[in-house]
Copies of this chain bind each other. A is one copy, B any other.
Amino acid sequence: MAIITLTTDFGLKDGNVAIMKGVIWQINPAVQIVDLSHLVEPYNVLEASLILFHAAFDFPDNTIHVIVVDPGVGTNRRPIAAKIGSQFFVCPDNGILTQIANKAKKCQLPVDCFHLTDTRYWLPTISHVFHGRDIFAPVAAHLASNIEISMLGVPIHDFIKLEVPAPRKTSHGWRGRVIYIDNFGNIATNLFPEHIEARTTAVFRANNLEIKGMVHTFGDNKNGELIALFGGPGNVIFSIVNGNAALQSGIAIGDEIEVVSE
């Protein structure tokens, strides 16, 4: 059974997520639909790209990921569909695939991207305000019905990638950034193992705070202590055991993080 995931900034109250599901099932009643996240900050394409990136490749091959964070809905930004590695993506061309494309480049995954132009795979009437319902949901449903992605439009090679802040080399180490705060208040950075000389000697500085060394896991430490460790996606995170590191430290998205080896 084909799987479609949905990622939006629609929230969970208004029923717009359900509308997209209804439209999909009208075209293909056998598809399994799953919510990836609907709590993306409104219009925050970069946040959506990050949440999508963390989850997309944990799905079975040929899963179809629909992402509708679409501040340009109704303008001439392009609707696109892409096959990247084992997964399909259907979304507006506004940078949502940035992190996925970066991974594809790094891991040499094949990328096939199409500008959605064949209106036979859309709803008959297209509004100016809800392309999730009118274009992206029906296109995903047709993909799930084994329509070839190349049937949906014309190949493109210039889909949009956003500038993602990368760590910069300093005289003594690296300077990275906070890129996400999760439900536990864990502070995710864009620092990866390649930026850390050694776990034991790493010293992190942010917001007048200093963390010396990295631990293996949360539970190794005392409650209330600010610690650094490698998180689920492999990057450095700061955490407070049984607490909320972001709230308690005041460190926020965008803040600079310095790491040196001492």
Contact = CB atoms under 8 A, between A and B. Distances in A.
Contacts of A182: 11, 13-14, 16
B217 A22 contact: no
A218 B11 CA distance: 18
B71 A242 contact: yes
Q: Please indicate which of the listed interface residues A7, A15, A30, A183 has the most CB atoms of chain B within 10 Å of its own CB.
A: A15
Contacts of A194: none
A75 interface: yes
Contacts of A18: 5, 34-37, 55, 58
A43 to B, nearest CB: 5
Interface string A1-30: 101010101111111101101110110011
Contacts of A5: 18
A59 B13 contact: no
B73 A218 contact: yes
Contact of A15 (B21, B22, B55): B55
A218 B74 contact: yes
Contacts of A11: 39, 182-183
Interface in A25-56: 25-26, 29-30, 32-40, 42-43, 51-52, 54-55
Interface stretch (A126-134, A203-211, A250-258): A126-134
Contact of A30 (B1, B16, B25, B133): B1
B38 A216 contact: no
B129 A71 contact: no
B52 A15 contact: yes
B220 A75 contact: yes
A202 to B, nearest CB: 16
Interface of A: 1, 3, 5, 7, 9-16, 18-19, 21-23, 25-26, 29-30, 32-40, 42-43, 51-52, 54-55, 58-60, 63, 71-75, 77, 127-130, 133, 182-185, 216-220, 229-232, 241-242, 244
18 contacts: A9-B184, A11-B39, A12-B39, A13-B182, A13-B183, A14-B54, A14-B183, A16-B55, A16-B183, A19-B232, A23-B58, A25-B60, A42-B185, A74-B216, A74-B219, A74-B220, A127-B232, A129-B217
Given A21-B34, A22-B59, A33-B34, 16 more contacts: A3-B29, A9-B183, A13-B40, A14-B54, A15-B51, A16-B55, A16-B182, A16-B232, A19-B58, A22-B58, A42-B183, A42-B185, A43-B242, A75-B219, A128-B216, A128-B230
